Amino acid sequence: MNLWRDLDYEMERLPLDVDTADRLLAGRVLPADAPPGYEAVAVLLGALRAHGEEQVFRHEDAVPVSVKDGRSSHLETMPTPGRSTRHRFKLAGAAFAGALVCTTGLAFAGGLPGAAQDVASSMLSKVGVTVPGPNDNAATHPSVRGYSSPDAAVSDDANANDESADENGGGKGAEISELATTTELTGVEKGAAISTVASGGKSKAGQQGEATADHGAATSGAGDGAATADDASGGRSTAGADNAATGQSHRP
Amino acid sequence: MSFGPDFASALAAAKRGDQEAQAHLYRAFQPKVLRYLLAQEPKDGEDLASEVWLGFGAGLDRFEGSESDLLCWIFTIARRRLIDHRRARARRHAVSVSIETLALPSDEFDPSSSLEHGEALSCLGMLPREWAEIVLLRVVAGLDSAEVANVTGRKAGTVRVIQKRALERLAELLSAKHEKAVTQ
């Protein structure tokens, strides 16, 4: 009597023809009817086909609100296991829009810092929106730059600075400006005069460096430098003495 | 799910923006799309399916054809989204997950899923990727060989030969697995 496995050679797997393969894949061949050696394949394909029926419609209610009109809205109803990149883009866009609204509001109120107010004013003016500039209400001093609204809170420090500026230098700028535009002096003399007014008489600008034809002026200049050095050092300095004596100058 | 003679009217209504018709199309094709994508990308399959329907909505106005043509078009979109997704992942130098790992338990799969399905995917993962894709399109998506050829850009004869070889290889693998189990 033969054992059942003695017939195994008769049940060896046969080459599959393309039509049978096609029918197996289409599910038209039951495992019991599959060619020898392909029963397991038919079972496997059936398992693949059957799987997911319960899984696919876990979110059966999640159907698109509208595929045509709400091309993005239907995504919100689609089952998504995690946050997608699209969701992050939406968040970033909302944050950007919020920042834009806040910045524009501050620009209208004139509450931005000076430089930012300046940029906002120039940018919005290009699109036809008028917002106050940083210096529209900034009095005459740069220390209040950026306080574009008369109602804006100007700090006590700023007021104090303004007052001290008036005490120390109030009107000096106008005086210098007038001198610069009305004086008949030119060249070194004009510069010396402006410098003298600006420094309150402390400046010695123009007293040195006058162009001369010989080395005499340079020697004289060196002598002046030596004198200044002597004054500064209480007579201990010897700077410039040798050069003054020999009449040589290192100045070009 | 097949529309039969109602397909043309359903498509026309969907094009006009009829939400009921659009939901009907979605319900008809989404299970196949989702199964096809989840079988290859368990973690991102649902996101990819969303992108497929986004593409579907964007191109619905221009679509003309039969139900079979619509199925091919949807799976062409799905396949391209899948390819794009894999390319993007490769650019990010992410570790590529082979299809064999699909059989491993994960949060995305219901633990009550049948063991047979895990084994089936595991065996499918031993095939070359192109062969496995064709088997999935045939079995999971329910396309015929001509439609698979349309979707994958191959000749129908080539698809038929590939699927024949794929089944032969699967038979070998299952036989070897069975023998190994018997000897142990």
Percent of the residues in chain B that have a pLDDT greater than 70, as a whole number: 84
Contact B114 A47 (CB under 8 A): yes
CA within 13 Å, CB half, B4: 1
Domain CATH number, residue B35: 1.10.1740.10
The rounded distance, in Å, linking the Cα atoms of B88 and B83 is: 9
Share of chain A above pLDDT 90, in %: 3
- Are residues B76 and B116 both part of a single domain? no
Residue A5 has pLDDT above 70, yes or no: no
The CA distance from B80 to A121, in Å, is 48
Q: What is the pLDDT of residues A208-234, one digit of tens each?
A: 554 444 444 444 444 454 445 455 555
Q: Check whether B80 has a pLDDT greater than 90.
A: yes
**Lowest mean pLDDT, pick from A74-88, A203-217, B109-123:** A74-88
CB contact B138 to A (< 8 Å)? yes
- Are B48 and B81 members of one domain? yes
Are B76 and B139 in a shared domain? no
What is the chain A residue with the closest CA to B19? A66
Same domain (yes/no): B83, B1: yes
d(CA A63, CA A66): 9
The CA distance from B141 to A52, in Å, is 12
Contact A57 B170 (CB under 8 A): no
Task: Give the residue from B11, B9, B5 showing the smallest Cα distance to B29.
Answer: B11
Give the CATH number of the domain where residue B139 resides.
Answer: 1.10.10.10
Query: What is the dihedral sign for C-alpha A223, A228, A232, A234?
Result: positive
Q: Which of A61-70, B35-44, B46-55, B70-79 has the lowest mean pLDDT?
A: A61-70
Assess whether B127 and B58 both reside in one domain.
no
* Same domain, residue pair B76 and B32: yes
Predicted interface score ipTM higher than 0.85: no
Decide if A52 contacts B35 (C-beta within 8 A).
yes
Kindly determine whether residue A49 and residue B26, on different chains, have CB atoms separated by under 8 Å. Answer: no
CA dihedral for A10, A11, A14, A16, sign (positive or negative): positive
Rounded-to-integer distance, Cα A121 and Cα A145, Å: 14
User: Are B104 and B86 within one domain?
Assistant: no
Number of domains in chain B: 2
Chain A contact for B84 (CB, 8 A cutoff)? no
Query: Among B97, B125, B157, where does a domain finish?
Result: B97
The whole-angstrom separation of Cα A134 and Cα A154 is 13
**Looking at the predicted structure, is the pLDDT value of residue A91 above 60?**
yes
pTM of the model: 0.47
> B104 versus B116: which is more confidently predicted?
B116
B53-80 mean pLDDT? 93
Residues A186-205, mean pLDDT to the nearest whole number: 79
Contact criterion met (CB < 8 Å) for A68 and B60: yes
Contact B49, B33 (CB under 8 A): yes
Query: Are B89 and B118 part of one and the same domain?
Result: no
**Pair (B129, B86) in one structural domain:** no
For residues B34 and B117, membership in a common domain is answered with: no
Give the CA angle between residues B146, B149, B152 to the nearest 5°. 150
Sequential DSSP letters for A76-99:
HHS--SS--HHHHHHHHHHHHHHH
B46 Cβ under 8 Å from any chain A Cβ? yes
Helices and strands: H and E segment counts in chain B: 8, 0
Q: For residues B113 and A51, what is the distance between their CA atoms, to the nearest angstrom?
A: 8
- Range of the structural domain that residue B32 is part of: 1-97
Say whether residue B170 is in contact with chain A using an 8 A CB cutoff.
yes
* Of A13, A26, A56, Cβ closest to residue B144: A26
Q: Residue A104: pLDDT above 90?
A: no
pLDDT digits (tens, 9 = 90+) for B154-180: 999 999 999 999 999 988 888 887 777
Minimum Cα–Cα distance from B17: chain A residue: A68
- Do B117 and B80 sit in the same domain of this protein? no
- Domain boundary among the residues B81, B97, B113 is at B97
Task: Tell me the per-residue pLDDT of A28-76, one tens digit each, with 9 for 90 and over.
Answer: 888 888 888 888 888 888 888 876 554 545 444 444 444 544 444 443 3
Same domain, B10 and B80: yes
